[in-house]
Each structure stands twice: as C-alpha cells, then as structure tokens.
Amino acid sequence: MTATDKAPEKVDVDLVTLTIDGVQVSVPKDTLVIRAAEQVGVQIPRFCDHPLLDPVGACRQCLVDIPDAGNGRGFPKPQASCTLPVAEGMVVNTQATSEVADKAQQGVMEFLLINHPLDCPVCDKGGECPLQNQAMSNGRGESRFAESGGVKRTFPKPINISAQVLLDRERCVLCARCTRFSEQIAGDPFIALAERGALQQVAIYEREPYESYFSGNAIQICPVGALTSADYRFRSRPFDLVSTPSVAEHDACGAAIRVDHRRGKVMRRLAGNDAAVNEEWISDKDRFAFRYAQVEDRITYPQVREDGELRPASWPEAFAVAARGLREAGASAVLTGGRLTAEDAYAYAKFARVALQTNDVDFRARPHTGEEASFLAAQVALSGGVTYSDLEAAPVVVLLGLEPEDEAATIFLRLRKAAKRGRTQVVSVAPFTSRGLAKMKGRLVPAAPGAEVQAIESLKDAAHGVTKDAIVLVGERLAQTHGALSAAVALAASTGARLAWVPRRAGDRGAVEAGALPNLLPGGRPVTEAAARVDLAAAWGVATLPTKVGRDGNAIVAALAKGDLGGVVVGGVDPDDTSDPAAFRAALDAAGFVVSLELRETDVTRVADVVLPVAPVTDKAGTFVTWDARAREFDAVFSNPSSLPDLRVLAGIADELAGLGQGSPLGFRTVSDVRAEMQSLGPWDGARPALDAGKAPKPAKAPRKGETPFVLATWKQLVDLGSMQDGEAHLRATARTPVVRLSRASYESVFGMLDAATGDERATVTGDRGSITLPVVVADLPDGVVWVPARSTGRGVLAELASPGSAVTVKGATS
Amino acid sequence: MTDTLTPVLTDNWDAERAWTLAAYEERGGYAALDKAFAMTPDDVIDAVKESGLRGRGGAGFPTGMKWGFIPQDNPKPKYLVVNADESEPGTCKDIPLMMASPHTLVEGVILSSYAIRAHTAFIYVRGEVLHVIRRLQRAVQEAYLAGHLGTNIHGSGYDLDLIVHAGAGAYICGEETALLEGLEGRRGQPRLRPPFPAVAGLYASPTVINNVESIASVPSIIANGPSWFAQMGTEKSQGFGIFSLSGHVANPGQYEAPLGITLRQLIDLAGGMREGHELKFWTPGGSSTPLLTPEHLDVPLDFESVGAAGSMLGTRALQLFDETTCVVRAVLRWTEFYKHESCGKCTPCREGTWWLTQTLARLEKGQGSESDLDLLLDQCDNILGRSFCALGDGATSPISSSIQHFRDEYLAHLTHGGCPFDPVASTAFAPAGATA
C-alpha cells in the first residue's frame, strides 16, 4: 500500500449514519446511541447516564434492541444505549418500536422501584424527579413486588454526607452520578459506594469528610430524591416555584444560574446550563449563598442622621440631605466595592465626574497599588479574547497570584477538565501546592510573597513551555508585589502568550470598563487623554471633565483622614476588605460627610450621615462582565418598586446637587437608560496608555530584634466569613478548616521535630495589627513563609493580623 | 474419546510433600522452561493455539487466541494475571491444585508470561483460602531462590516477577474486570468493556487473564507438544480437565479426564451415587450453569455437547443431588448466595436477586400461587442478558432450569403447604436408607 492510499479524506466532522426506530440520522462519530436517539426525538429513559460524566452503564434503564450493529449482525441481548457508540449502518430499535426494548426497560424500572420507598408525596424531588417521571412513562402501573408480598430494604432516615448534603439511602437508585461527579469533575472523591448488592450505599469515610466546594452539583444531578441539601430540604415543592435565569454574583466567572423563587422569596438556586461558561456546574457558594439579601439587618428605608442618631427619612428628603451634605463637605470622593453591576459602576463613575466633579473614584475595596491601576488601564480595559474554551485548548496555563478553586471556581473546573485530559499543563506561581493545584495536576513555581517577580521571569525558560499558545491568568492579588504585574506583562509580550486578568469579585471587570477608577473614564478612556475627555464630555453634555488623575482608594482614605477631602460616597464596601481597615474606619470618622449606599447594616452605615438602601441583584436588572470580557446580562427576579438600584439613588442625589448648583444631573433613571447610554458611548478607540509600574514602595520596617520574621501569604477561601455568605449556616459549615501553613523547616524551627508532632499543634501568628491562632499544617511553602486564610477567622487577616506580604512572627500556642 | 482418567495436573498430587520444589523438580518440573526459552515467544503462543487449549475458567475461550490479542506494539508493559479467585458454588479444582502442586501453576505462569512478553505476573487468590495462599507464596519464594523467577531466568535473559495477591472475599472478583479493579486496590466491580483487558487491562495496560487450570496446563503442552494435548478430548474441546464431583456421590473429589467424558463414567469412577440413592439433578459447571437431570447422564462433557443439552460446561463442577434433595430448597440456597454476592453495580442483578430470593422463599414455605412461577420466570427474563456482567445471568440459571425440569415439585410445595421433603434425609449424616 502506498502512502497516498492511506491518506484519509478531509472532512470536518466524521459523520456516522444509522437508523433509529426507522428514522435515518447522521451524527458525529463516537456519539452514544442514547444521544443519537435524542436527535430523532426519542427519549430513552436513563439514570446513570450524564453527558458530562464518563459512561458507566450501571442502571441498565436505557436498554435498546440492536438488530444490526452495523456489521450485519445484531446483538443477541438488549444493549445499554448509554455506553454504546454509534456505528455506520447500525439499526437501533428503542422502546418506541421494539417490544424487547420496551419490556427490558419496564423490567429494569420495576426492579428499581422494588426497594424504593415510593414516598413521592413527602419527597423534595417529587414533581421534578426523573425516577417519578420515567416510572410513569416507561414503567408498569402496578407493583408485582408488593402483590407478591415483597419486603423492601429500609435504612434509618437521612444521614449527613456533609453539613450541607443529606442522604436518604432508601431512595437511592445507585446510579453513581454523585460519586462520579465528585471524582471526575470536582476531584473530591470523598464519597463512594460501599457495601454490596441491595445494601450498597453512598458512603463517606469518617476520617476524610466530604469536603467539596462543588457538592451541590451532586445534589442537582441526583435523579431521585436521595441527595438533598440541608438548606432546601422540605422548603417547597417544585411546582410551586417560579424559575428565573440569572448570573451568579459571587465571582468573576459569570456562571449561569437558575433562581427558583416563591412569593417574592428565593428558595434555592440551581446551576444553569451554559456550555461556553460553566457547563452545568456551579460552586456551592454560587448555589447556596443567597440569603444575605434576606437577613435581619437588611436596610429597607432611607435614613438620615439627626442629633447623632439615624432616623427614617423619605427618599426625597434623603436625596436632599445627601446632596446638601456633600456640597457643604467640599471636595468629595467615591469608594465602591467590587460587587456592582456594570450599570451601577457606570453610575458611580459618572456621578464622581459629573456631580462631584472629581476623578477620586475607586472600586478596589482591597489592597491595591498605582501599578495595578496602570495595568488595568493599559492591559485590561477593552481587552478580551481569552475564553473558557481557550483554557481547555491551551497547552500551558500560567496562574499568577490566582487560586482558582477559591477565587474563580468555574475556571478551576475548566482547568481541571483540561488537565485531566492531559493536554493542558497548569503552572502556578504561588507559595505552596494547594489542593486545587494538585487536583489540576498543576506544577508549582514556588514564590514567597514579594518574590513573584523573579519567579515570573523564570517562566521564560523554555522548560516551562510558555509559548504563544499559552495563557497567563493574572489574579488581583499579584498587584500586591511591586513589579509583578509588569513582569507578567513582559512574560506575555516576550513569549506571545495571551494574558487575562481574573479578579475575585463579580463587579471588578465591569467597574474597569465603566471607569470606576481614578485614571480611567468609561469605555476605557484614559483620564490623561484630552481627546477622551472631550469625547466623553460631549456625550454627557457637560462642559468639562476633571483633568487630573484622581486619588485611588488608599489615597482617598489618607486624604479623608488628613482633611483634604471632606465628603465620601461609599457603595458596598466592607471596611475589613480594605488595605488598612483601621485607617478606613478612622477616615470615615474624620470625614465631614458620609453617604452610604448599602444593602445591610455595616460599619459604614453605622457612621454614615445618610444611609440609602439599594437593591440586591434579585431586585434589579444588570450586567456582570466576566474575566473573559463576557457581558452577562440578567433581569430582575422580583419586581420590587421600593428597591432601587444604586444608579437610581445616585441619579436622585445628582439631581439635588444640580439643584444646588453643583454639577449636572446624571441623565438616567433606569437600568435600561444606562445600558442605552453605555451602548451609545461605545469604547475608546484611541491608543492604550502604557503600563507604568511606578516607584517601588519603601521596604518594610525591619522586624524587632530577636524574632525570626515570616512573610505573610494569604488569600480568601471560597467559603469563609464573607458577608455575602451570611445567613447560610450549612454552607459555612462546609468551609475548610482554617489552618496556618508552614514549611517543614519552619515548622520544626517553631515546634521541634515534625515526627514528634501530636497533631494538636497550634500556631499564633502575630503581625502589626494583631494575632491569629490556628491549627498548624506543614506544606511545601518556601522556608520563612506563613500562610493563613484571609477571611476565615474573626474580622480577617487585614483587620486583625497584618497586610499581605508583610513580616509577622509565628509562635507555638498552647491549645 | 477415551474413557479412562488422564492424570496430568493431578499426577503428582500423591507425591510426598508434592507442594515442595524438590518434589516437583524430581518429577521433571521446570524442565519445560528451557524448552520454551529455546523457542520464540510467538512460537510458544502458536504451540498453545495448536494444542486447542480452551479457557478452563468456564467460558472456554481459546487460550492461545487470547494471548494473540495482546498488541505487542503497545509500549506499555504487559501483564499476566491468573484468576485464582475460585468461588463458584461447587467449583473445587483450582484450590486443590494450588494446594497440592503450586509449582505447576508457577511454571505455567513463567511460560505464559514469556509467551505474551510480560515481565510482571499476578496470581489473584481467593482470600479465604489462607493455607493455599501460604503454599503459593512459599512456592514463589522457592522458585525465586532456584532461579526460576527473577532476572535472567535460566540464563535466558528473560525477567519475570510474580506476585501473589489475596482477594478480600467477593465472588464478583472472579469476574475478570472486577478482579482487575480489586488488584488495583479498588472495589471489586466489573468494568465497562470495551476497552477489553487485552488492550487496557491492569493499570490500563495490555493484560491476559487466565484461569489457574488453563495456565497450569501450559507446562505439559510445552513439555509433551501440542499434538499430545490435542489428541485428548473431543474435536472442538481438546485436552484434559479436572472434574470435581461433589454431593451425593460415594467418593467425591477431583477426577482428571479428557473432555468429553460422561457423567455416567465419572460416577462409576467415583464409586457410584450415595448408597441406596439415585441421581435426581446435577450441575455440569457450578451453580451458574443450568441444572441437568439423569436423562443427561450420557451427554459428553465438552463445551459443545453440554451447550447443546441446554447448559454450559463451565468449571466442570459436578454437583450431584439425589432424590432426597428438594430442588426448591437447593435453588433458594444458591439464589441467596447470588443475592449476597451481587456487587450492586447494576439494577437487574442487585434488585432482581433481592426479589427472587423473597419469591423463592415464599414458595419453599408453600406460600403464593402457581402464577408465582411465571413471575419468577419473568423476573429471570428481566435479569438474563440485562445485567452488567454474567453474575446476574448465572443467578437465573438454577431457577429457570429447575422450573423447566421440576415444575411439579414447585407446585407440590403449594399443595403440600410447605416443603414435602425431609431436610435431614439429604444430609451427610442422614441415617442409611432414609428417604424423602
């Protein structure tokens, strides 16, 4: 045979033609028969089959008759269509046309029901249960098991798989979807089938609890009511719920969710199905953390401070008091958190420029630097092009200052999927191999906080495989080391790799695009570009815009404390998230006038002069811009006329300010007004500003004599004490145990030999803001580095320990 | 066809301390190694193909052909795994063989591994038979010390490591893919096929899994030549095999004979049925093979003839039951075994055996009605060919075959209001002359 004989024909997709129930259909090669049948409109009943899990063929519900396997011979017995790939010329007869298949399916259904309690009237799944539905469509009407005097297998009522997940073993049909999901998708194989025969059951190992950030997906894909959440169990019936598609607000991934609600109250959230973003999975935080909008300290009416006390006020009064106060306070600034919708962020950005006539606006309610602002303007604004599917296709994905499992769960699942296929190598510059990195089979390039620049530069070495096909994901924490963002940009530039910025919060990227930064106007317009300002001023109908680059968050805090700024508008900032919580609180105390736009009572509302309630995401339409520049629009779940979005509140204050002769009205009152305005404004088409790393900060103070200093590494775990998880006791109970991590040598320098450890050792970490005492765990950290979770104890590391990257001490603590 | 015994595997069982290396070598043990090492591995495979050896684990798949499926261009290591997880009710051939002459198996492992180019082999032994495990471990140790295992065996340049692995007590691990799961340290549940073990078996590498008796037959094939082997047995079922007679027979035990011998001949060799009793029903190859009756006494015990009689040759575990035995009771006991041993992976076997046991138990107590027999048969129909592996199929064999042959006896339970048999009469301690 010559080489040319062998050359395959070029076809885009290899199609295979087969006949299902007499209907000819062509499907891509390797398609499973059960899915090919869907193409001709035949739904074969199934339980264990799930399109995103590996086939297993366990439940046997999807048996079909194959009179011709494509080779002229048939299968003598019915075949499981969920494990059988199509073949050219195959003939498939499903329950619709084959008595054999129909009887086989009815037989399996009968078997499945003999040990099932048939407690549908009290089961949460009743009404949306594949077992119930398919028993109706493909089962017998009567039970021969009961007639023949059969005795069902029973188990004691539910057992906890985790604090959140409950298992009713007698309902389980042992399809293994949950165990396969946990192993194959989440990488948390802490549940498994145990025992055998009809006594087989999903089980845990008591010494390795089912600790997973994705356990809710196992509940969602359970085809019966065996797995329920402590959160939702017995709360409502599916047929009483109204479902509204939405977007998860907890991270910058934009996962599609489905909000199920009843009479104005969210009852539960489920993963939406979006192949391009989250496939069919969401993190437990996205699923279970929604009651923060229902907790008791929710603010429901405007308040103004009178004689030192807040008192209820009408909206018009509150607007007027806020406007008067800001005008009298003199120069004022705007601080917002990272949870705003893009429309609201735009409103803050415009409010600062048009009403307060300043560029003193910053959305970064977290440690931040001037280098980062420059990086966001130069590299992030208007950027795009790296998508989730690119992550799957890239040979190498570099993580810089990003812990996806904790900070961007959807990215984690994609990277794990890619790594599991063996085509993608994840490389992470981080202080230690986290569980998430291990699950992605990632390679650690160890870097102590402050030493990231050298580590990033080392990635240029060909051994790391960072080529033009690689993707560099930059987390927001990388900004904490001077020069690291510049090094990341240089790495991308020299290798041709594509770079994307992955913030932690849902509103961060949208706020960059909306111009809620001191150096950036909406649409990526640099403040320093006269043409950009003129362009924007014309669009906004104002004569001029402030020309000077404004103060960033840290500078605003400093200026308030110093008295250079008199007033401040704060929207959704938790003081304990800021670079220096104590300084932030002091600045609020020092400020002449504080306007707070908030959902719930916080340390900001407690000192504010005017408190204006704003709508949670369920009460307003909006857009979250994801890390991959996807505008994820969502509609309001509830129509709640008394719940105003931030942009409407700001418009009210701006109107009053304009009435007092300061600035102009914002020119919009609704989300659709803002969307239209943003649309017509469009992006800046001029040159991007250059990245300016700025001056290096002063080196940290030398530690006190006689104490060995450790460098503090920290980040927030997915489930922690963040205020948007308030009201979710069951979710919080699934959080990972907070621990202090040290290298072996560091551990032994503090505690003595590791081999002699009792396992009860606790470490006290002390910094310039306080101490934290936690159990200690040894990890592959560089010596002299200590890691603690940022928001898993008290008010968190920033408030009660020290700034990330600063020097701390570690001592053994008596437990 | 011959009508005499052909002791090959059992030939040395009566030797003094037959399980020791010295005793084995005295009878020419391990001599086949040098003969094989003088051949190419492919020639060894061809010899086994030519001999007509078919898998002795029950399915009867040609052993040489199985070896030929190993893709030799696959860069991964190849493995030989010996299935010594003998657990089928009635089956009792591998364990006595490993007990009496473990070196026969070890020599077979070396030859077979050489043929498929494996450098690591495993014997997966049923965990309950501790004594046998110890004998095997000692035999492997002796073989290492004598240079039959390890590196550069007999100066041939061929290396082989042999590991004896004890199972954890599950019938399902006799299913080859469940065995591999167990060997890899996971729960014993059968794997989805394809990929077949020949392509991706142990540690996702090409793997041959053979029964103990198949592998133990290889040394004699190499030593005496394939035609010596092929001249025994029948046209399509060549060679010899161990026939294990148990139950109501005068001298139960292992009888090694050419395939194609009849049960009538074997009973004669075993001294006849229990004194004063007659054969009522029997299994040709363990409880998973449909029951046969005295009318099948002259069926040649080879793969084809037993198949034609409506059963399977299986493992040649001939369980003999005389007229004192209640067939319903025997079938219920087997069904309870399958219920206990169902791994739980697939619905028909897991739930079906649960239900079958209950229906049968009621019938044995004389409860229910004649329609319950149809229910039983329909349950069997919904399990047979619908379950994930052959365990489910096997569970239905005794039920459907017993209803086929002994429907009246089932009905007698209903009319009698319970079992019409004296359960003591069928026991080994029954007084002589006891009748039903």
Question: A30, A60, A106, A109: which to substitute to probe chain B, counting the most B Cβ within 10 Å?
Answer: A60
Interface of A with B (CB under 8 A): 55-61, 63, 76-78, 83, 103-104, 107-108, 110-112, 114-115, 144-145, 148-151, 153, 173-174, 192-200
DSSP string, B173-234: GGSHHHHHHHHTTS---PPPSSSPHHHH-GGGS-EEEEEHHHHHHHHHHHHH-HHHHHTSB-
- Domain limits of chain B? 21-230, 240-322, 327-425
Question: B192, B345, B360: which to substitute to probe chain A, counting the most A Cβ within 10 Å?
Answer: B345
In the CATH scheme, what is the code of domain A321-366+509-681?
3.40.50.740
Q: What percent of chain A has pLDDT over 90?
A: 92
State the CB neighbour count (10 A cutoff) for residue A133.
Answer: 13
With an 8 Å Cβ cutoff, are A173 and B347 in contact? yes
Give chain A's mean pLDDT: 94
Cα-to-chain-centroid distance, residue B19: 21
Q: Which residues does chain A have within 8 Å of residue B358's beta carbon, measured at their own beta carbons?
A: 148-151
Angle CA B262–B264–B267, to nearest 5: 110
Distance from CA of B375 to the nearest CA of A (A): 8
Q: Which residues does chain B have within 8 Å of residue A115's beta carbon, measured at their own beta carbons?
A: 351, 354
Is residue A320 over pLDDT 90? yes
Q: A80 Cβ partners below 8 Å, 6+ apart?
A: A57, A60, A62, A63
Task: Name the band, by pLDDT with cuts 50, 70 and 90, for residue A534.
Answer: very high
A731 vs A212: CA distance, rounded Å: 11
pLDDT score for A2: 38
Distance from CA of A786 to the nearest CA of B (A): 37
With an 8 Å Cβ cutoff, are A192 and B187 in contact? yes
Is residue A703 over pLDDT 80? no
Distance from CA of B189 to the nearest CA of A (A): 10
- Write the burial class of residue B72 (CB in 10 Å: 0-12 exposed, 13-18 middle, 19+ buried): exposed
DSSP B251: S
Note whether A577 and A503 are within 8 A (CB). Answer: no
State the CB neighbour count (10 A cutoff) for residue A648.
Answer: 23
Mean pLDDT of the A775-791 span: 96
Task: Name the band, by pLDDT with cuts 50, 70 and 90, for residue A6.
Answer: very low
Question: A82, A148, A205: which to substitute to probe chain B, counting the most B Cβ within 10 Å?
Answer: A148
Q: What is the pTM of this model?
A: 0.94
* Closest B-chain CA to A193: B187
Q: What percent of chain B has pLDDT over 70?
A: 98
Mean pLDDT of the A558-587 span: 97
CATH class of this structure's domain A3-112: alpha beta
**Which CATH number among 2.40.40.20, 2.40.100.10, 3.40.1500.10, 1.10.1660.10 corresponds to the domain A710-813?**
2.40.40.20
pLDDT score for B433: 58
* Least CB–CB distance from B342: residue in A107, A149, A197: A197
- Write the burial class of residue A598 (CB in 10 Å: 0-12 exposed, 13-18 middle, 19+ buried): buried
Distance from CA of B372 to the nearest CA of A (A): 8
CA dihedral B233, B236, B238, B241 (to 10 degrees): -80
The token duo for A161 is: 């798989």
Q: Which residues does chain B have within 8 Å of residue A57's beta carbon, measured at their own beta carbons?
A: 192, 346, 388
Which of the two residues, B436 and A496, has the higher pLDDT score?
A: A496
Question: B175, B196, B336, B351: which to substitute to probe chain A, counting the most A Cβ within 10 Å?
Answer: B351
With an 8 Å Cβ cutoff, are B347 and A63 in contact? no
Q: A10 Cβ partners below 8 Å, 6+ apart?
A: none
Distance from CA of A200 to the nearest CA of B (A): 6
Mean pLDDT of the A373-382 span: 96
Interface of B with A (CB under 8 A): 170, 172, 187, 192, 339-348, 350-355, 358-359, 362, 367-368, 372, 375, 378-379, 381-383, 385-388
* Least CB–CB distance from B348: residue in A76, A83, A108: A108
pLDDT in tens, B382-394: 999 999 999 999 9
With an 8 Å Cβ cutoff, are A196 and B172 in contact? yes
Lowest mean pLDDT segment, chosen from A397-406, A613-622, A755-764, B317-326: A755-764
With an 8 Å Cβ cutoff, are A63 and B345 in contact? no
pLDDT score for A148: 87
pLDDT in tens, A430-439: 999 999 999 9
Is residue A3 over pLDDT 90? no
DSSP A575: G
Distance from CA of A191 to the nearest CA of B (A): 13
Task: Name the band, by pLDDT with cuts 50, 70 and 90, for residue A106.
Answer: very high
b vs e for B307-346, b when ≥16 Cβ sit within 10 Å of the residue's Cβ? Answer: eebebbbbbbbbbbbbbbbbbbbbbbebbebbbebbbbbb
Distance from CA of A421 to the nearest CA of B (A): 15
* Closest B-chain CA to A202: B344
Mean pLDDT of the A364-371 span: 96
Q: What percent of chain A has pLDDT over 70?
A: 97
Is residue A755 over pLDDT 90? no
Note whether B407 and B324 are within 8 A (CB). Answer: no
- Write the burial class of residue A469 (CB in 10 Å: 0-12 exposed, 13-18 middle, 19+ buried): middle
Is residue A710 over pLDDT 60? yes
Mean pLDDT of the A629-646 span: 95
**What CATH architecture is A396-499?**
3-Layer(aba) Sandwich (3.40)
* Least CB–CB distance from B362: residue in A58, A83, A149: A149
Complex ipTM, two decimals? 0.95
Task: Name the band, by pLDDT with cuts 50, 70 and 90, for residue A701.
Answer: low
Give chain B's mean pLDDT: 95
pLDDT in tens, B265-304: 999 999 999 999 999 999 999 999 999 999 999 999 999 9
Is residue A188 over pLDDT 80? yes
pLDDT score for A704: 59
Angle CA A130–A131–A136, to nearest 5: 95
Report helix, strand or coil for A647: helix
Positive or negative: CA dihedral B46, B51, B54, B57: negative
Is residue A706 over pLDDT 80? no
The token duo for A137 is: 């469509």
* Closest A-chain CA to B391: A197
pLDDT score for B1: 38
**Do the strands A63-68 and A79-80 form a parallel or antiparallel pair, or are they unpaired?**
antiparallel
- To the question of domain B327-425 being in CATH 3.30.1300.10, the answer is no
Q: How many CA atoms lie within 13 A of A312 on its CB side?
A: 4
With an 8 Å Cβ cutoff, are B358 and A195 in contact? no
Angle CA A537–A543–A547, to nearest 5: 65
Is residue A174 over pLDDT 70? yes
Q: Which residues does chain A have within 8 Å of residue B354's beta carbon, measured at their own beta carbons?
A: 114-115, 153, 197-198
Distance from CA of B392 to the nearest CA of A (A): 11
With an 8 Å Cβ cutoff, are B351 and A112 in contact? yes
Is residue A758 over pLDDT 90? no
**Which CATH number among 3.40.50.11540, 3.40.50.2300, 3.30.230.70, 2.40.30.30 corresponds to the domain B21-230?**
3.40.50.11540
With an 8 Å Cβ cutoff, are A77 and B344 in contact? no
pLDDT in tens, B29-77: 999 999 999 999 999 999 999 999 999 998 999 999 999 999 999 999 9
B91 vs B314: CA distance, rounded Å: 9
* Closest A-chain CA to B375: A144
* Least CB–CB distance from A108: residue in B353, B355, B386: B386
Distance from CA of B166 to the nearest CA of A (A): 19
Mean pLDDT of the A376-400 span: 96
Q: What percent of chain B has pLDDT over 90?
A: 95
- Write the burial class of residue A423 (CB in 10 Å: 0-12 exposed, 13-18 middle, 19+ buried): exposed
pLDDT score for A7: 44
With an 8 Å Cβ cutoff, are B355 and A114 in contact? yes
With an 8 Å Cβ cutoff, are A60 and B388 in contact? yes
- Domain limits of chain A? 3-112, 321-366+509-681, 396-499, 710-813
The token duo for A103 is: 């009887």
**What CATH architecture is B240-322?**
Roll (3.10)
Q: B227 Cβ partners below 8 Å, 6+ apart?
A: B50, B51
